[in-house]
Structure 1
Amino acid sequence: MKLYSMPSSGNSYKVRLLMALLGESYDRVDVEYDSDALAEAHESGALPFGKAPTLQLDDGRVLGESNAILTYLGEGSRFVPEDRFARAQMLSWMFWEQNQHEGVIAVRAAILCYPHRAHERTQETLDALEVRGHVLLGIMEQRLEQADWLAGDAMSLADICLYAYTHTADTRGGYDLEPFPALRRWLDRIAKLDGYVGLDG
């Protein structure tokens, strides 16, 4: 398999993390913002949705969207619950990640970290994202106060999915994680897993 991956992107990282935990081997093409590799990937049509990550299978088929890739790779693994409700619960967290969490937590980090988004660094914008982000982190905290994992009673794709942008919410997004002890314990549990790789790994 070949993974077109943006090194600094949490969406790309979540796929790399799952592959590491599963012990999957693959070829990796880094397509960072403003890189020649990204321009070449666009030119060649390697990114069907115009963005990374994109996974090219051994048979040439191409799959885009990070959570769809997670679902494909996780099929039949320990990261997809057998229980019907737990599996649906996993999917609900994954939908929520893209619909709510990513559009706030990741966006604030992008505005603060990427030079091409510096023009968006107004105090009003950053403050609004900070307030909304803490509400979203609080939703995760409520669940993690009651259970070690987001869906069912074991780690699932939901945890990998939401770990990606949450684990750098403080260092890249400027969020204060101190009020969320259960969430911080969850982050530590994932970071200690066999096969774990970090964002820069």
Structure 2
Amino acid sequence: MILYSMPTSGNSYKVRLLLALLGRHDVQRIDVEYLTDALEQAKQQGRLPFGKAPVLVLDDGTLLPESNAILCYLGDDTRFMPQSPVARAQMLGWMFWEQNQHEGVIAVRAALRAYPHRRALATPERMAELLERGHDLLQIMEDHLATRDWLVGDHATLADLCLFAYTHSAGARGGFDMARFPAIGAWIERITQLDGFEGLE
């Protein structure tokens, strides 16, 4: 298989993290960073159906876009996929929330700070709005993790890996005040202790 991966993207990182935790070193990786020839080439070759990474190319050539869909494919029948239908639905609920709410605030604020071609959009009003909204979203996670070690069940699932990708860098990259969220901090530490863990580049 081949993974088209954007090195600085949390969405791509979550797939790389799962592969590392599963010991899957058989997947070829092609880096397609923002504003590079490699990204444009991948688009022109039709390798990025939705115009963005990550995309997993299966052995038969099938293209699987969208990070959380890739997580579900790779995580099927592994320790990161709950066996109970209810627990699976709860896991998917967190993963849908990550893309629908969390990623569009936490990741966007970090991107506005990091990528030069997006800095024109980083008005003081927009950044303040994202900061306030991001703290509210992180508080949802904090309240949930205050009474449990993992988002769903008694061990790490795809939901934890999915939300870890942008949450663990929310302070350094997004400027969020992570000292306000000790339960999230402890959860982040637990994930970094998982066998095979690899950090964001």
| TM-score bracket for this pair, using the shorter chain length | over 0.9
Pairing 1:19–2:19 present: yes
Q: CA–CA distance in 1 between the matches of 2:126 and 2:86?
A: 38
Q: Deviations over 1:87-127 (max 9, x none)?
A: 11000000000000000000000000000001012110000
Name the counterpart of 1:136.
137
Q: CA–CA distance in 1 between the matches of 2:47 and 2:84?
A: 36
Shift of 1:194: 1.2
Pairing 1:54–2:50 present: no
Name the counterpart of 2:118.
117
Q: Where do residues 61-72 of structure 1 align in structure 2 (5 Å cutoff)? A: 61-72=62-73
Alignment root-mean-square deviation, CA: 0.6
Aligned residues of 1:3 and 1:55 also touching (Cα < 8 A): yes
Q: Where do residues 65-80 of structure 1 align in structure 2 (5 Å cutoff)? A: 65-80=66-81
Name the counterpart of 1:35.
36
Give the secondary structure class of the aligned counterpart of 1:29.
Answer: strand
Q: CA–CA distance in 1 between the matches of 2:81 and 2:124?
A: 41
Aligned residues of 1:89 and 1:152 also touching (Cα < 8 A): no
Question: What residue ranges of structure 1 are gaps of 5+ in the alignment?
Answer: none
Name the counterpart of 2:10.
10
Pairing 1:94–2:95 present: yes
TM-score scaled to structure 1, two decimals? 0.98
Q: CA–CA distance in 1 between the matches of 2:101 and 2:147?
A: 21
Shift of 1:59: 1.3
Q: Deviations over 1:148-176 (max 9, x none)?
A: 00012211000000000001000100001
Q: Deviations over 1:44-101 (max 9, x none)?
A: 0000111000000111111000000000000000001111211110000000000000
Q: CA–CA distance in 1 between the matches of 2:187 and 2:148?
A: 10
Q: CA–CA distance in 1 between the matches of 2:37 and 2:168?
A: 29
Name the counterpart of 1:127.
128
Shift of 1:193: 1.3
Aligned residues of 1:112 and 1:118 also touching (Cα < 8 A): yes
Shift of 1:146: 1.2
The one-letter amino acid of 1:82's match is Q
Give the secondary structure class of the aligned counterpart of 2:68.
Answer: helix
Give the secondary structure class of the aligned counterpart of 1:198.
Answer: coil
Aligned residues: percent identity?
62
Pairing 1:191–2:192 present: yes
Q: CA–CA distance in 1 between the matches of 2:42 and 2:200?
A: 22
Give the secondary structure class of the aligned counterpart of 2:20.
Answer: helix
Q: CA–CA distance in 2 between the matches of 1:135 and 1:58?
A: 42
